């Protein structure tokens, strides 16, 4: 079964998945993860379990909202509120019961995407080509527990959900200061020039990455870890074998 061959029936099954998707070990004490700290020193001798789950309850959405507000409110962003939406999935990373990472994956629909607010002209170009766009938003990592492995794990799960929803392209709006991080560490490229985003009261740029390119990077570097000479985040993604196991778990009968 090919990477892009899953059916919508399987997708619906995965959307209802209510258990821990994956558990992994990461260092207990880490330097803050941010675009200003691209290379983190990690102590492999000090490990603690991290669990990646999906928001399926009001409490889960509240945990994601609190983390996003904690990480961005002090920078002058309006208070974000993450809620359930049939065209979005919110991924959470837990340390015990504490939410230490979150990202929301949105899929194009009749409701459109968040990026349509200021970049509809750019997204429409893909729609006219028959391509399906997914977007990443509300990405936040707790500064005390951030690591390459935590961030890579969440984005890898986001990628798998994009595939399940038959997305061909991924986009993300970021402030210009963070642009280099996404370009160097994930391979995004600028799609839309700097524009004012009234949702966050900041100027942003729209970045784009074809899903096929992301898939190739995962298959080439996934699971290799810090021993890889590759300087992107992809060596910290799950290996192709781990990816298959995750998908089998998501698509298995309850």
Which comes out higher in pLDDT, residue 76 or 13?
76
The per-residue pLDDT for 12 is 63
Q: Please give the pLDDT value at position 166.
A: 92
The answer, yes or no, to whether residue 8 has pLDDT greater than 50, is: no
Mean per-residue pLDDT for 169-190?
A: 97
Please, which pLDDT band fits residue 13 given cuts at 50, 70 and 90? low
- DSSP letter string, 137-156: EEEEE-TTT--HHHHHHHHH
Q: Do 66 and 142 meet the contact criterion of CB atoms below 8 Å apart?
A: no
Region of 245 please: left (phi>0), alpha (psi -120 to 50) or beta: alpha
Cα–Cα distance, 95 to 90 (Å, whole number): 17
- Predicted confidence (pLDDT) per residue in 191-230, tens digit: 999 999 998 889 999 999 999 999 999 999 999 999 999 9
Q: Using an 8 Å Cβ cutoff, are 104 and 82 in contact?
A: yes
- 98 against 31, higher pLDDT: 98
Residue 200 pLDDT: 87
Check residue 196 and give its pLDDT: 96
CB-based contact 52:157 (threshold 8 Å): yes
Residue 167 has pLDDT above 70, yes or no: yes
Residue-wise pLDDT for 34-76, tens only, equals 443 334 434 443 466 889 999 988 999 999 999 999 888 767 7
CA distance 88 to 68: 16
pLDDT at 154 over 60: yes
Domains of the chain listed by start with CATH number: 8-251 (3.40.630.30)
State both tokens at 127: 């729609």
- Report pLDDT for 240: 94
Token pair listed for 55: 């928001």
List the single range of 145-149, 166-170, 214-218, 226-230 with lowest mean pLDDT: 145-149
% residues pLDDT > 70 (the chain): 82
Helices (H), the chain: 8-15, 58-72, 116-128, 148-164, 179-186, 211-221, 240-251
Side-chain-side CA neighbours of 8 within 13 Å: the count stands at 0
What would the pLDDT profile of 236-249 be if each residue is shown by its tens digit?
A: 999 999 999 998 88
CB proximity list for 180: less than 8 A, separation 6 or greater: 35
pTM attached to this predicted model: 0.85
With bands split at pLDDT 50, 70 and 90, how would you rate the model's confidence at 18? low
Does 6 have pLDDT greater than 90? no
């Amino acid at each position: 079964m090919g990477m892009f061959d899953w059916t919508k029936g399987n997708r619906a099954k995965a959307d209802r998945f209510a258990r821990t998707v994956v558990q992994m070990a990461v260092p207990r004490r880490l330097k803050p993860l941010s675009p200003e700290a691209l290379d983190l020193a990690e102590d492999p001798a000090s490990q603690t379990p991290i669990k990646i789950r999906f928001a399926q309850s009001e409490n889960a959405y509240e945990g994601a909202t609190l983390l996003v507000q904690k990480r961005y409110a002090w920078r002058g962003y309006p208070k974000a509120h993450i809620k359930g939406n049939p065209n979005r999935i919110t991924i959470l990373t837990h340390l015990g019961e504490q939410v230490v990472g979150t990202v929301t994956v949105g899929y194009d629909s009749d409701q459109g995407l968040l990026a349509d607010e200021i970049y509809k002209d750019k997204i429409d170009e893909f729609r006219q080509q028959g391509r399906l766009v997914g977007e990443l938003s509300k990405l936040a990592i707790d500064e005390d527990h951030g690591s390459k492995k935590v961030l890579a794990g969440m984005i890898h799960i986001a990628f798998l959900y994009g595939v399940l929803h038959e997305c061909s392209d991924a986009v993300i709006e970021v402030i210009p200061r963070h642009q280099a991080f996404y370009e160097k560490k994930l391979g995004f490229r600028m799609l839309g020039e700097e524009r004012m985003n009234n949702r966050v009261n900041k100027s942003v740029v729209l970045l784009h990455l074809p899903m096929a390119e992301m898939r190739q990077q995962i298959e080439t570097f996934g699971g290799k870890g810090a021993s890889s000479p590759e300087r992107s985040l992809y060596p910290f993604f799950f290996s192709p074998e781990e990816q298959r196991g995750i998908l089998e778990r998501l698509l298995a009968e309850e």
